[in-house]
Structures are given as structure tokens and as C-alpha cells.
Amino acid sequence: MTNDPFSKCHPTVNFLYFLGVIGCGVLIQHPAYLAAGVLCGGLYYLLLNGRGGWRRILGLLPLFVLLAAINPLFNTQGQRILFRIFGRPYTLEALLYGGAIGAMFVSMMLWFGCYDRVLTGDKFTSLFGNLIPAISLLLVMVFRLVPHFIRKTRQIVGARRSIGKGVGEAASGADKLKHGLVVLGALTSWALEGSVVTGDSMRARGYGSARRSSFMIYRMTWADYALLAAMMGLLGLVIGFAAGGSAAAQFTPSLKIAPVSGFRALGLGAYWAYLLIPTVLYVKEAIQWHISRLKI
Amino acid sequence: MKKSHWATLLVFFVLIPLTLYLGTRLSGRSYYITGTLIILELMVPFFMAFEGRKPQARELVVVAVLSAIAIAGRVAIPIPHFKAAFAIIMLAGIAFGPETGFIVGAITAFASNFFYGQGAFTPWQMMGYGAGGMLAGFLFRRGWLPRNRWVMAAFGFAAVIVWVGPLLDCSHIFLTLGSTDWVGALGYLISGFWVNLVQGVCTMLVMLLFGIPLLEKLDRIKMKYGMMEDENGL
Amino acid sequence: MAHFQIEDLTFAYPTAKGRSLDGVNLTIDRGEYVVLCGKSGSGKTTLLRHLKTVLTPHGKRGGRVLFNGVDMEQVSQRDQAAKIGYVMQDPDNQIVTDKVWHELAFGLESLGCDQKTMRARVAEMACYFGIQDWFHRDVATLSGGQKQLLNLASIMAMQPETLILDEPTSQLDPIAASDFLNTVRKINVELGTTVIITEHRLEDIFPYADRAIVMDGGQVIADDTPRGIGKALHERKNDMFAAMPTPVRVFYGANGQGECPLTVREGRNWLNRCFPAPPQIHGLPAEPLEEEVTNPALSLKELWFRYEKESPDVLRGVSAQVPTGSLWAIVGGNGAGKSTTLKAICGICRPYRGKVKIFGKPLEKYKAKELFGGCLAMLPQDPKSLFVKKTVREELAEMTDDRQKIDEVTALCQIGTLLDSHPYDLSGGEQQRSALAKVLLTQPRILLLDEPTKGIDSFFKEKLADILCKLKDQGVTIVMVSHDVEFCAKYADRVSMFFDGQLLTTDTPRRFFGGNSFYTTAAGRMSRHVFDLAVTAEDVVGLCRQAQEG
């Protein structure tokens, strides 16, 4: 687990932040905004994942090119025809549009990657523990059972192997499937049998005897409230400017992109600021830590 | 009238029209946003019904176990890209009825993405799996389709090809396609068809070979819990 | 007013013929520490489950249970949940949530406590049980002992008046088990919580219990102080006497006079009184282990292994030679690499250095079919890992079509009456014998056993020992990994100590356990100052008698 200060904020802050990022990211297709989304997303992704993050980012590059190049094949609108393929025009506008779609898709992948690292299962369930208690509890139970079952599956495979009932790498697909389903069946029997115990254990500890409350391990601090307020302010600015047309962009049939200059640059600035929040927190903490180390 | 019934009315007659209206006024990926919102709104009544039912411990446990098996199942079968998840969800629906089928499906999709990564497709996948489990519950519990392994296999195959696969493709189409370009959409659906076909065949095989044994195991556990007399699922 | 008052309780399961409980009358007072003992199937669990309505099984019932003077049926679910804590056998499946902190809070959440109360109680419990260090961990990363401690803590968070424990340590290793039982005792002494417990491991709790109750066939056959119970069982020649702590068995075996010892310390003092001067015959003969093994069934040479490239070595030069037709037991602490050694022997782990030879032929020269079809087989720690069918009969039929072989193995493992049962309807010991039967159908010449005595009571242990002896007579070589020193001392031919990735010492059990002062049997600890190399209760009894006669 990386030492990311934003991950330590209250889950409400995390959740609303990502809701804002993903909402804006999907809706706004102005190139400058898209570029901000990709760059900031990439930066935060790298902070969270360290060097291993480069591999995924580089892996997204071909996807971007593919999405950009494919769009003109379907979308033939546009004025500047680059060439014709299968008798259909391949236009510059459609290619740019494809690029915008690719950028949006790549930024979504990056931000969802960050989301997975920050808003872990226990944060999500503690966030919604009061609103949807039964479903939150269900999710928590599934989170516990999955690693438990994976371990048991390996035990069953090993146990069967050592009585001569395993399958090798070289076995045929049909044999592997048959063997796999036998293992799955054994796992199911074992799991259902265990579920009787779990059910007893829940009822023995009073499940269903009163209205459930939800233990909050995370507490909102004043820093969380301050951050939330800053987030909302910035997001309000972005939405306001976008509604005013500062972030409007049309690619086909003709290119119409709102200029980013003067007063309108404020919207873009707010967007950058919003997207950079986790990175800024990260850098700030790194510097503070460094200074406090120097003092000692 | 129950809370969840009010919610259903609210969703159908207020929220969805409102979303559609707002959707036409959005720029960018409005189709994706509108579609996703509608899917989320459609799921609300189901979840509310589940919450309102105050599910008992045994129900929660069985749903959690089935979901976790659907997720962990891919470790059991040593064939890459072979997923038994959807088959298990539908069998849960067949054994315990449409409501449980829906919950197992939606929870499986959502929880599995905590292990393998969330994405823009998450709500669509939840809807696809949930509705698949629900449909299986309706058709087999009501006796419209017999609990025969060939029928279950054919149903599983059809459900993937016609419903779950295309729904997931739609989330990609709405997210990545520009204006409504129907040629493009068709192209996507066709390119996605092969993937769906493979998944359909997987689901069919699992239903065929594993369906009846799994149902027997579930029946055994129902006996153990003493819930055979209970007609409404769990 | 009694805490629990059980009056004429009778119970029968719907499918069973006989009664599981037959006219039970009991009174349990506040703050008592009560041990409930009896064979598997004697009705212990059924009785315990009647002390909490939500856990009471369906069936025909007569009589009643009063809790604090009120009929149990009238006590509200919420009160029962909060006031009566119930810890079950299986450490894993009792856990509901994925995080330690959440599990601690689960009961309080169910009772609908407010945040402030929950915070205080959770913090209190985490400190009392020493859970702070793993408070934020995933449950999946805990050891069995930690899991069971977590189960106990999450129940204690509700501040119950009574703690009911149904064989809570049967799935734990001895060190974790005695830690757990010490915690239970601490709760009883420091908080005054009433404790009602069933256990196989009577050595650890018998001396501290206020009262012991023995059940047989659904009836209470004895209800007395632990000392009184030992006497009563001995006088009645009851089977349960075999489950008594070693000092008790030695005392009555040697016709001891005076007060019966319960602990090793009391046993030593008693022996001192019996033999003020050292007796003439003061030890047992013990031949040293022959150094060279000719024709070993199994030979391990300098095995080195680690799971990941970066992780530390688990096996650090393991070497051993096992003569054909002998029982080799490997003992040692948790996580020392004992199970990994078994995995290396059957090829699940591949050592990066060193050689495994089976009947003189290197392991890698064997094809999987050849190796596991008549040469080697392993019984896993959890016998349930082997069950894939609906009945035991089908389980056996999965292995072979040969009716005669199946009949032979069925007779050997004494599972003739269980063939039509579902494997999951059997008790722990029965499950284990069924799994063993399945393993034996591959007709292995080397049998590997991983913790075969885990979770089974002393009667089933004896049955298992019986089967193992018969297999040895047929020339089967047995390799066993175990924590159960008493079992190893009694039945193994050679014992090795596993420590720090190596097999440190190998010797005959008598010399091995006779030489150790900590890592040895209770009989050994009790008698080592008087007798040499007496490691089982039978050894000590025999020597006492000889000394008295001579």
C-alpha cells in the first residue's frame, strides 16, 4: 500500500471526488480539458502504483491510436478529406474526434485505476453501510469469502493431485473442464456446508434481533471538510463555465472548439486544480516529511 | 404499499423521463451518461426491495457464498478466459427465484470488479448479470421452462448471446462511439459477437455439466436450513 | 437463583431414531467454569445449542431451560444475543466480515449500538485480547489461532454473562490452543463470566474447571468436581476414562493412594511421595536407532525450497531416510516447513536443490500416473478437500471399479455403516476415515498424512492408530506430520524434530521424547525425575507397578 495522503481522507471525500472526475471526464470533450484529464490521471496513477504504473500507461497508447484511427471509418462526416477507404471518405475532423474519444477513454481507464486503489472495498461498504445495510454487509461477506475460496480451491486441487486425480498442463480442454467442474462442485459443497456455520454465527451474535447500526472506522476531520469545500468550489466553477459554453467542442461535421483565452481560461484552470488535488496533497506531504526529517 | 413499490413508480414515471430529457441537453457522451443513469435507476427498486425485506442471516450467507463462488470459480477451472460466473448466477436464480437471482448477479458483477478493476462498464455488467439471474428465476421457478439440463444449457447460451453480451457491448459503444453512428454500432456488435459466442458456449457447457449437480447441492442446503416449505425463494 | 436451570430436557432429531438428549437435569451457577465431556455423538453439542434459542435445532423437544429463572423461550432474541456468547468449533466459518475491526464490531452493529459505545467497546476488546497490532488486517491473513481469538473477542465485545464454547480449540495447534484456553480462563477469573465448555484436550482445562459433567447417549452420567469425575469414571470402567489427563490415568492405573493428581506438577509430587528413594527399576530399555537404513522407501537429500524467488527459504537442507514399512513422524512448530516437506515428497513443490528418491528412483523420473497410482498418496489436513460426491459409496467408486478392493478398504477403515451417508453428515473422525479409505484405494506403498489427529477425539484416534498399524503390517511406509506428541510417542517408529527449515534430530520416540524436557509428552514431563525414558501413560503405569512389586 502506498502512502498516499488522499487515500487517507474520509471515503465520502474520495467517492465524491471520483464522481466529479468521472462525470466531467465523460461529458466534457474539449481537447484542453481532455488533455488535463489524461495528464493528471496519469500522474496520480504513477504516484499510486510506482514504477509498475508505466506498463499500464504505455499499454494504453495503442488503444488510444486504435480508437482514434477507427472512428473515421464509421463516421464519414467532415470537410477535409484525407483519403478514401472502401469508397468512403476518411476525414480529418473524424480523426480528431476519434482522438478525443481515445483520450477520454484513456483518461477513464487511468482514473478508474486510481479509484480501485483509493476507494477499496471496506471504504465503499463503510460509506454505504447506513444507506444500504444489507447490501453493504453482503459485499463485505463476499470480500471475505473470495480469498477464502481461492485458498480452498488450491487445497482441493492439491489434494486431488496427490491421489492421482489431477490434470496436467498437457491435458485436453475437455479433461480440464471436467476436472475443473469436479473441483468447483467440491468447493460448492464445502462452502455451502460452511455457510450453515456462518449463518449460525451471525444469528448467535444478534443479527436480525434489532435495527442494525454501522461502525464507522473513518471519521470526518476538519481537514476533510475543508478539502470537500475546496473540491465543491472548484467543481462548481468547472460546471459553471462548461454550462456557459467555455468547454464546448464540436468535431464533425465541422470543427468548432471554444477558444481558451482570457476569462474563459479560468474554467480550465479550475479543472486542472480539481484534477491535481491528490497529486498536490501527495507532494505537500512529501515535502513536509522531508523538512521534518531535516530538523531532526 | 411497500416502499419499494413507490420507488418503482417514481423511477418509471419521474426519474427515467427526467433523465432522458436532461440527456438530450447534454453534450459529449450523453448516451453513455443517460444510459448509465437509467440503469442505476432501474436497479434502485430491486435493491430497495431487498433491503426492505430485511433478509435473514441464511439468505445473506447463501447469496454471499454463491457470489463468491462465481467470482472465485475461475481459479478452479484451469482454462484461460473460461468463466463460469454467469452460469452460477442463473442457477442461483433457478434455485431460489428471481429476486435472489437478481441480487446474486448484481453483487457478483460489482464485487468481482473490486478484485479485477472497476470500469465504466460496471453498472451495465451489474444489470446484465442481475437481469439474467432474475429472468432464469422467472422462467424456471414459474415452471415455464423445465429444470432439464439441456433446456438450462440452451437458455444459458441464449441469455449470453442475446442479453448479457450485447448489453456490455452497448456500454462500450456508448462510451467510445461519436454521434449515433449505426454502422459503427453494428460493427462493434459484430466484433463483440465472437467474444460473446465464446462466453455463451462456456455458460452452456457449465449449465449442461454442472447445472443439475449444483441444484442438488442447493436443495440439500435448503433441507438443512429447513426452508423447503418456503415457496418464495429463500 | 441459578444461571441456567435445565429441567428434564429431552430432544430427538426429526430423522434420527433415538433421542439425542434423554432427560437431562442440570443447574449451572453464575461464574462457574464447567467442562462438558463425552464421546462424539454423546449429545454435548445438542445440549449446548439448547442454551441459546437461535441455535436450537429443529426436532421433538420436552422439558425446559430456564435462564436467570426465566423460560428461555421468553427471553428476547436481543437479550440472548447479548448475554449468551457462543463460540463454535470452526474458526474460519464463524467469521462474517473481511476486516478484523469490522468483525469485532459485528455483534454491536447487530444490536444497534451507537457509535460512541461501539468505539469504546471495540477499543477495549482490542486491547484486552492484544489485537491492536492486527486491528486493520484482512481476516484472510490471520492464523487459525488468531481467528479463533477474534471470534472470542467479537463475542466478548457484547459483554455476555455466559460464554459457551463448543470444542473451540479442535482446529488449532497445541500452542495456539493453550493460549486460547488461557484467555478463556482469564475471562472467567477476571470478569466472572460463566464458562461452559466442551473439549477433547482435557489436560489444559481439567485442573482449572469447577465442575465436570460427563455425557453418554444423551444422558448426564456424572456431574462432579474434576477429581471426582476421574474417580467415578475409573470405578465404572467407563470408556471416557481414556480421555482423562495423563496424571489421572497414571494414578488410577498404578492404583495410587491419596488425592488424585490433575496437573503435571501434582503428578510429580505424587510420584515423589510414592518413591522417596529411587526405585530399582528406574527406566525402560531403548535401543538406539540404526544409523544406516538399507533399502529406504523414501530418501530425502539436502532439499532446499522457497515459495517465491524473493521469499526466505522454507526448506534449508532437509535430509532423511525412511525404512520400508515404518511410521515416521515429523513434529515441530507451526510454519516450520513440515507440510512443505510433505508437498516436496509428493511433487507439489519442486525443491530447487536436492533430491527426493522414492524406492531408490528419483521423483522426477516418475510419471504422475505411476507415482500416484500405487506408489504414493497423501491424506490432506482437511479430509473434506477430498469429497466430491453425494455418498461415501460414490466417493470410493470414483477411485476404482474393483468391488473387492473397495470391500477390503471399507472393512479396514471401519466405514461399512457409513457408506450411504453424505460425507458432510459424518463426524470429524468418520470423515477422516472415509477420506483415508479413498486415499488407500490408490494402494499406496508410501502414505503421507498431514495432521491426521487434528480435531478428532481420543476414541477416533485409537481407531486411526489401529488402521495405521494394520497398514504397516502390510508393508506400507507411513510419513506423518503432527503436533500431537502423545500420538507420535505411542505409535511412531521414528520421530524427527523439524526446526528452522531442517530436520534437527531423528530418533526412536522413546529416546526422542525421553531426552526432551519441554517438547515431550505429559507422561514424560511428569515422570522424568523418577523414571528414564517413560513417555506414555502406559510406560509410567508399567514402571510404577514393577517398582511397587519389586
Same domain, B62 and B106: yes
CA distance C92 to chain B (A): 14
Q: How far apart are CA C211 and CA C34, in angstroms?
A: 5
C-alpha cell read off for C135: 486491528
Query: Across-strand partners of C85?
Result: C163
CA distance A70 to chain B (A): 9
- Residue C316: which residues within 8 A CB-CB, separation 6 or more? C304, C500, C501, C502
Q: What pLDDT is stored for residue C42 in this prediction?
A: 84
Same domain, A20 and A156: no
Q: pLDDT tens digits for A152-169?
A: 999 999 888 888 887 877
Within a domain: B135: yes
Q: Please state at what angle helix A121-128 crosses helix B98-116, rounded to 10 degrees.
A: 140
Same domain, A42 and A93: yes
Last residue of a domain, one of B54, B76, B97: B54
Same domain, A152 and A118: no
- Residue A61: which residues within 8 A CB-CB, separation 6 or more? none
Q: Best of B60, B220, B223 to disrupt the C interface by mutation (most C CBs within 10 Å)?
A: B220
Within a domain: B154: yes
Using an 8 Å CB-CB cutoff, list chain A residues near B217. 185, 188-189, 192
pLDDT at B27 > cutoff 70: no
| Mean per-residue pLDDT over chain B, rounded | 83
Query: Across-strand partners of C332?
Result: C498
Q: What pLDDT is stored for residue B232 in this prediction?
A: 40
Question: Hey, which residues 322-351 in chain C have their CB within 8 Å of chain A?
Answer: 343, 346, 348
Q: Which residues of chain A have pLDDT under 70?
A: 1-2, 296
CA distances from C500 to A197, B1, B209, C314, C336 (A): 36, 68, 47, 8, 6
- Which amino acid type is present at position C271? L
Which of B111, C232, A265 shows the shortest CA–CA distance to C248?
A: C232
Same domain, B180 and B139: yes
- Which amino acid type is present at position A248? A
Same domain, B217 and B116: yes
Q: How far apart are CA C405 and CA C412, in angstroms?
A: 11
Same domain, A84 and A26: yes
Q: What pLDDT is stored for residue A1 in this prediction?
A: 46
- Residues C235-256 have a mean pLDDT of 87
Q: Where are the domains of chain C?
A: 4-240, 245-288+522-550, 296-521
- Residues C459-484 have a mean pLDDT of 89
Q: What pLDDT is stored for residue B229 in this prediction?
A: 40
DSSP-assigned states of every residue in C347-386: TSS--SEEEEEETTEEGGGS-HHHHHTTTEEEE-SSGGGG
Closest CB to A196 among B60, B71, B224: B224
Same domain, A100 and A241: yes
Q: How far apart are CA A122 and CA B211, in angstroms?
A: 33
Q: pLDDT tens digits for C351-410?
A: 888 888 888 888 888 887 878 878 888 998 889 999 998 889 888 888 888 888 888 888
Please state which architecture CATH assigns to domain C296-521. Answer: 3-Layer(aba) Sandwich (3.40)
Same domain, A47 and A105: yes
Within a domain: A211: no
Q: What pLDDT is stored for residue C314 in this prediction?
A: 86
Question: Hey, which residues 262-291 in chain A have their CB within 8 Å of chain B?
Answer: none
CA distance A134 to chain B (A): 6
pLDDT at C488 > cutoff 70: yes
Q: What pLDDT is stored for residue C153 in this prediction?
A: 93
Within a domain: A114: yes
- Which amino acid type is present at position C244? M
Pairing of strands C21-28, C33-37: unpaired
Q: What pLDDT is stored for residue C122 in this prediction?
A: 92
pLDDT at B181 > cutoff 90: no
Q: pLDDT tens digits for C154-195?
A: 999 999 999 999 989 888 888 888 889 999 999 999 999 999
Last residue of a domain, one of A178, A204, A230: A204
Which of A205, A128, A19 shows the shortest CA–CA distance to B51?
A: A128
Are B216 and C390 an interchain contact pair (Cβ–Cβ within 8 Å)?
A: yes
Is there a contact between C389 and C398 (Cβ–Cβ < 8 Å)? yes
- Residues C45-53 have a mean pLDDT of 90
Within a domain: A210: no
Last residue of a domain, one of A177, A204, A231: A204
Which of A35, A221, A7 shows the shortest CA–CA distance to A115?
A: A7
pLDDT at B189 > cutoff 70: yes
Same domain, B17 and B82: no
Q: How far apart are CA C64 and CA C108, in angstroms?
A: 29
Q: What pLDDT is stored for residue C85 in this prediction?
A: 92
∠ CA(A196), CA(A201), CA(A203), 5° rounding?
95
Same domain, B100 and B28: no
Q: How far apart are CA A267 and CA A250, in angstroms?
A: 18
Q: How far apart are CA C176 and CA C170, in angstroms?
A: 10
Same domain, B60 and B135: yes
- Name which of A87-101, C102-116, C278-292 the model is least confident about: C278-292
CB pairs A-C closer than 8 Å: 172
C-alpha cell read off for B189: 456488435
Question: What's the pLDDT band for B227 if we cut at 50, 70, 90?
Answer: low
Domain that holds residue A174: 131-204
Using an 8 Å CB-CB cutoff, list chain A residues near B116. none
In three-state secondary structure terms, C63 is strand
Same domain, A92 and A232: yes
Last residue of a domain, one of A171, A204, A237: A204
Same domain, B94 and B2: no
Q: Which residue of B has its CA nearest to A19?
A: B120
Are A23 and B33 an interchain contact pair (Cβ–Cβ within 8 Å)?
A: yes
Same domain, B196 and B81: yes
Question: What's the pLDDT band for B179 if we cut at 50, 70, 90?
Answer: low
pLDDT at C455 > cutoff 70: yes
Within a domain: A1: no
pLDDT at B234 > cutoff 50: no
Q: What pLDDT is stored for residue A16 in this prediction?
A: 93
Q: Which residue of B has its CA nearest to A187?
A: B69
Q: What pLDDT is stored for residue A201 in this prediction?
A: 92
DSSP annotation of C283:
B
Question: Hey, which residues 8-67 in chain B have their CB within 8 Å of chain A?
Answer: 26-30, 32-33, 47, 50-51, 54-58, 60-65, 67
Within a domain: A151: yes
Same domain, B180 and B82: yes
> In chain C, which residues touch B (CB < 8 A)?
58, 390, 422
| Mean per-residue pLDDT over chain C, rounded | 87
CATH code of residue B61: 1.10.1760.20
Same domain, A68 and A120: yes
φ, ψ dihedrals at C61, nearest 5°: -130, 145
Q: What pLDDT is stored for residue B1 in this prediction?
A: 60
Measure CA C485 to chain center.
11
pLDDT at B70 > cutoff 90: yes
Q: How far apart are CA C538 and CA C249, in angstroms?
A: 9
Contacts of A among chains (3+ CB pairs under 8 A): B, C
Using an 8 Å CB-CB cutoff, list chain A residues near C111. 206, 209-210
Span C4-240: which CATH code? Answer: 3.40.50.300
Are B61 and A199 an interchain contact pair (Cβ–Cβ within 8 Å)?
A: yes
Q: How far apart are CA C316 and CA B89, in angstroms?
A: 46
∠ CA(C416), CA(C419), CA(C424), 5° rounding?
125
Same domain, B68 and B183: yes
pLDDT at B176 > cutoff 80: no
Same domain, B25 and B74: no
* pTM (2 d.p.): 0.90
Question: What's the pLDDT band for B29 if we cut at 50, 70, 90?
Answer: low
Q: Terminus-to-terminus CA distance in chain C, angstroms?
A: 55
CA distance A196 to chain C (A): 9
Q: Terminus-to-terminus CA distance in chain A, angstroms?
A: 26
The total domain count for chain B is 2
The total domain count for chain A is 2
User: Is C437 or C374 the better-scoring residue by pLDDT?
Assistant: C437
Which of A285, A204, A104, B92 shows the shortest CA–CA distance to C88?
A: A204
Question: Chain A within 8 Å of B181 (Cβ-Cβ)?
Answer: yes
Q: What pLDDT is stored for residue B184 in this prediction?
A: 66
Domain that holds residue B202: 55-225
Q: What pLDDT is stored for residue C94 in this prediction?
A: 93
Identify the residue whose cell numbers are 515429523: C330
Same domain, A26 and A120: yes
Same domain, A118 and A135: no
Within a domain: A284: yes
Q: Does the fold of domain C296-521 match that of domain C4-240?
A: yes
Within a domain: A92: yes
Q: How far apart are CA C5 and CA C332, in angstroms?
A: 44
- Residue C307: which residues within 8 A CB-CB, separation 6 or more? C314, C349
Q: How far apart are CA B102 and CA B136, in angstroms?
A: 9
Question: What's the pLDDT band for B177 if we cut at 50, 70, 90?
Answer: low
Same domain, B78 and B189: yes
